[in-house]
Amino acid sequence: MKAVWNKELRTEKNHTLAFVYQWNAEKGDTLHLAASNLYRIFANGTLIGYGPARAPHGYSRVDSYDFSSYHGKTVRLVLEVFASNINTYYIVDELPFLAAELLRNNSLIADASQFAAFHLTDRIAHVQRFSFQRSFVESYDMKQCRSVFLREGSDMFPRVSTEEVKPNCLLERRVSYPKLNTIWAENYMEQGTITIDDTVTPMRDRSLTQIGDKLKGYPFDSLSECISDEVCGFLFHKADCLPSLSEMTYQLYDLGRTLTGFFCIHLSVKTNTTFYLLFDEVCTVHKSGTQVNPFRNTCCNVIKYHLAPGTYQLLSFEANSARFAALAVTQGDLSVSDFGMVLYENPDTDAFSFDTGDKELNSIIEAARHTLAQNAVDVLTDCPSRERAGWLCDSYFSSRAEALFTGKNLVEYNFLENYILSPPSPFLPKGMLPMCYPADHNDGIYIPNWAMWFVLELDNFWKRTNDRTLVDMAKQKIYDLIHFFSGYLNEDGLLENLDSWVFIEWSKCNDPDFICGVNYPSNMLYAAMLESAGTMYQDPTLILQARQMKSVIASQSFNGTFFEDNRIRCDGQLLPTGHTTETCQYYAFYFGVASPDEYPVLYQTLLDHFGPNRDHFHVYPDVFPSNAIVGNYLRLELLLNDGKYDQVLSECKSFFSKMAKQTGTLWEHSSQNASLNHGFASVAANYIIESVKNI
């Protein structure tokens, strides 16, 4: 396919081009397209597609849209393509392009070079990043609703020339096209007035303060506006019977549960109006008014609009995650007729049904299904809010939920394929995999442990699907990874002083003094990785190395009661630190360093006295507790594998029920201090259903 872009704009940050073509449709008319970075497609003003399915650097997945249903009608096709041109954890930093062919029964009607191109100048370019992990917030200055442009054509935007540019290598899409149905809020749940608290310190996180070569974007002093500064002091005070939304008033909407997609607002503007949409997965209810904190999840959950008088059907461009949204007017006068969200979710989960006979367990399964649907659109993501990133380790768990809810692993296939096809990164050591991908890690940070989880997941995928294609494709990458780790092996054959971000989980076991030196959870995981690689490639040397490592780990780490987390080198000798965590125990049993038969007392202690409900201040206070990922999940897996089905169900209820009740999704942590819609948590449904089936 021929690819095009505008020469003058191609390297500019945060810009969008619209490509327009109009024709009389007939049966057999099909559009094939590939684009970078993001696109959405409208036919006669109706949103019919959003993409692409993400791919590695230098690759793009091809999407196809059938226009046979428009037979006998004139179709005005508008393709909006967004160019970020900065590094993120979400989309790759590459020059934008559109490649497209409109075919009629495989004969070319038009290609991208024949589409008229327009620069969509109503989106303000010089704005802050949405987060450290994602690109830009959305801010608009609209003189007229875009729907006029989408449906009829107008001179709203300047037309620009295009030239042919080099396209990417093309890949199969493979995954299903996303949901694009709309969920409407019944009505606003609260309205009132806004005051400004001038004492609030503006948010100044790293996405604002660290802009440079390692984190691209617009420096703070070059921003046209700083939206986080503008809204940080908003205080909402509920009131009744406001005639309309006028200066310093708000309306608060509840979407019923956490959803992911594009905010859709139908409204009428009477005078020049400025409003902000503040959103989050939770809210805080006070007597004075309900507050929505758009910075709770370390991102800027705000969209800004400045609108001239008229009628608007607004549709945000980026997919975001929210249950609550406050429409806050600071200038002007408007009235809202409809407020909702166009879903951007995996449709393959819809057909799933399972009744446990227990209402509480059913609600957790449903929350897990919603979580998976929102984190498995094109790749397996950690969360659909702060990052939208394809993280390793998380995917080890969510991939099994995909198999449960969809009966397939199409998204996981794309996820793994992206890693396997990823070219060497100039920012990472030779042989090391990126910790999340597609992404750019200009700061050189990687998680060595996450690369180990990649091998375990690939082994699981092969065993689950009986498809060796990806295993064979990944062989060189995995052996390069093993070679990378060989440089860290000490005289005992254990990894020592791993570089970059050594990550076990979000708990005490990840403190610097716990992960330094010879970190035993990392070595337990590495031994399991070698064993998986040896199994996949029938390499007895790797299997033997794994067994030897497990033996050494057990002899060094076990202190007679618990497995300790690490030893450090002093005067040439490895000395115990005494650091002990609950998660280290689960690593030992899960990765085969220990077994219930070999360590019956420790295993029974874990069963009877540990878990997320332990009062760790009084019960084994010297053994630091686990967090959600991965400690509490490994615990559930151990219980499940040991046939402790009633205990699994009891602990799942205790841990997940409050999440399902509050957001209808499952969370990153056991508290509300991060993402409340996290992909790996969807595996809770696997634990529950397998337990119920075996009781």
Q: What is the CATH classification number for the domain harbouring 30?
A: 2.60.120.260
Residues 356, 384, 265: CA angle, nearest 5 degrees: 105
Q: Give the model confidence (pLDDT) of 212-233 as tens digits.
A: 999 999 999 999 999 999 999 9
**110 part of a folded domain:** yes
CA dihedral (400, 401, 407, 410) positive or negative: negative
Asked if residue 385 and residue 310 are part of one domain, the reply reads no
368 burial (CB, 10 Å; 0-12 / 13-18 / 19+) is buried
pLDDT value at 579 more than 90: yes
Asked if residue 538 and residue 416 are part of one domain, the reply reads yes
Q: Give the model confidence (pLDDT) of 118-146 as tens digits.
A: 999 999 999 999 999 999 999 999 999 99
Asked if residue 537 and residue 666 are part of one domain, the reply reads yes
Residue 612: CATH number of its domain: 1.50.10.10
| pLDDT of res. 460 | 98
Cα dihedral: 49, 53, 57, 58 (round 10): -60
Asked if residue 289 and residue 392 are part of one domain, the reply reads no
**205 part of a folded domain:** yes
| pLDDT of res. 153 | 84
Asked if residue 103 and residue 195 are part of one domain, the reply reads no
| pLDDT of res. 673 | 84
Nearest partner of 449 among 395, 389, 524, 535, judged by Cα: 524
Checking phi first, is residue 344 left (phi over 0); if not, alpha (psi -120 to 50) or beta?
beta
Measure CA 383 to chain center.
3
**507 part of a folded domain:** yes
**8 part of a folded domain:** yes
Mean pLDDT, to the nearest integer, of 527-535?
98
pLDDT value at 549 more than 90: yes
Residue 362 CB-half CA count within 13 A? 8
Question: Of 343, 372, 394, which closes a domain?
Answer: 343
Q: Which range scores top for mean pLDDT: 33-47, 192-206, 285-299?
A: 33-47
Asked if residue 59 and residue 78 are part of one domain, the reply reads yes
N- to C-terminal Cα separation, the chain: 55
Give the C-alpha separation, 94 to 58, whole Å: 8
Name every residue whose Cβ is closer than 8 Å to that of residue 512 and which is 6 or more positions away in sequence: none
Give the C-alpha separation, 469 to 169, whole Å: 19
Percent of the chain at pLDDT > 70 equals 100
Q: What does each C-alpha distance from 322 to 263, 283, 341, 581 come to in angstroms?
A: 10, 10, 9, 34
| pLDDT of res. 669 | 87
Mean pLDDT, to the nearest integer, of 56-77?
97
Give the C-alpha separation, 331 to 336, whole Å: 15
Q: Quick one: tokens of 491?
A: 């005289």
What is the pLDDT confidence band of residue 243, given thresholds at 50, 70 and 90? confident
Q: Give the model confidence (pLDDT) of 257-283 as tens digits.
A: 999 999 999 999 999 999 999 999 999
Strand order in the sheet with 566-570: 518-519, 566-570, 573-576
Q: Give the model confidence (pLDDT) of 393-436 as tens digits.
A: 999 999 999 999 999 999 999 999 999 999 999 999 999 999 99
What is the pLDDT confidence band of residue 242, given thresholds at 50, 70 and 90? confident
Asked if residue 394 and residue 308 are part of one domain, the reply reads no
CA dihedral (121, 124, 129, 130) positive or negative: negative
pLDDT value at 20 more than 90: yes
Asked if residue 193 and residue 112 are part of one domain, the reply reads no
Asked if residue 48 and residue 22 are part of one domain, the reply reads yes
**134 part of a folded domain:** no
Q: Which phi and psi angles does 170 have, rounded to 5°?
A: -100, 140
| pLDDT of res. 287 | 85
Q: Give the model confidence (pLDDT) of 618-636 as tens digits.
A: 999 999 999 988 999 999 9
Decide: 348 and 405 in contact? Cβ < 8 Å.
yes
Mean pLDDT, to the nearest integer, of 6-20?
98
Asked if residue 273 and residue 214 are part of one domain, the reply reads yes
Q: Quick one: tokens of 451?
A: 């690369």
Q: Give the model confidence (pLDDT) of 500-527 as tens digits.
A: 999 999 999 999 999 999 999 999 999 9
**DSSP label of 114:** G
Give the number of domains in the chain. 3
Average pLDDT score over the chain:
97
**136 part of a folded domain:** no
**Strand pairing of 116-119 and 74-83?**
unpaired
Mean pLDDT, to the nearest integer, of 71-78?
97
pLDDT value at 186 more than 90: no
What is the pLDDT confidence band of residue 681, given thresholds at 50, 70 and 90? very high
Asked if residue 455 and residue 332 are part of one domain, the reply reads no
pLDDT value at 155 more than 90: no
Q: What is the DSSP string of 627-694?
A: -IIIIIHHHHHHHHHTT-HHHHHHHHHHHHHHHHHHHSS--SSSSSSS-SS-GGGGGHHHHHHHHHHH
pLDDT value at 85 more than 90: yes
| pLDDT of res. 109 | 97
Helix %, strand %, coil % of the chain (to 5): 30, 30, 40
Asked if residue 284 and residue 430 are part of one domain, the reply reads no
Q: Give the model confidence (pLDDT) of 89-112 as tens digits.
A: 999 999 999 999 999 999 999 999
Range of the domain at 582: 358-694
Nearest partner of 547 among 565, 522, 530, 564, judged by Cα: 530
Q: Which phi and psi angles does 321 have, rounded to 5°?
A: -120, 130
**151 part of a folded domain:** no
**143 part of a folded domain:** no
Question: Of 320, 343, 366, which closes a domain?
Answer: 343
pTM of the entire predicted model: 0.97
Q: Quick one: tokens of 486?
A: 């060989």
